[in-house]
């Protein structure tokens, strides 16, 4: 009986192996794509935040903005720019990125 099953499957073994390999490769490819997109999206957000914070800092010197005005202007501009790229940014993520950039600017 086992031999009959093996004889029945044998002509299709390469097709079965091909389907299994294709499935595994597709799964791995999708995982790599998600990781890559997340990395690129995070880098894009970080670049936007850095550019905006630096711009607001420069403009604040000319306009005498206080810390709250600078923060609100930066926040509004960042949200607009991130939305234009089609990305999403949470309130917490926005706060963390702004604080991180501000701290790195202060250190330099």
The answer to whether 29 and 50 have CB atoms below 8 angstroms apart is no
The answer to whether 50 and 42 have CB atoms below 8 angstroms apart is no
Q: Give the whole-angstrom CA distance, residue 79 versus residue 94.
A: 8
Q: Give the whole-angstrom CA distance, residue 48 versus residue 58.
A: 15
pLDDT of residue 9: 81
List per-block mean pLDDT (blocks of 10 residues) for the chain, which spans 108 residues.
Answer: 80 88 96 94 93 92 89 94 92 93 84
pTM above 0.95, yes or no: no
pLDDT of residue 61: 86
pLDDT of residue 5: 79
Tens of pLDDT, residues 56-87: 989 998 888 898 999 999 999 999 999 999 99
CA distances (Å), origin 54, targets 13, 43, 95: 61, 16, 15
- The SS3 of residue 64 is coil
């Amino acid at each position: 009986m086992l031999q009959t099953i093996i004889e029945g499957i044998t002509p299709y073994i390469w097709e079965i192996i091909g389907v299994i390999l294709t499935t595994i490769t597709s799964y791995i490819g999708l995982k790599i794509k998600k990781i890559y997109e997340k990395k690129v999206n995070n880098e894009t957000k970080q670049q936007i935040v850095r550019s905006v914070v630096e711009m607001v800092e420069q403009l604040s010197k000319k306009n005498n903005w206080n810390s709250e005005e600078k923060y609100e202007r930066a926040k509004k501009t960042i949200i607009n720019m991130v939305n234009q790229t089609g990305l999403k940014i949470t309130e917490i993520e926005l706060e963390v990125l702004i604080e991180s950039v501000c701290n790195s600017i202060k250190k330099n």
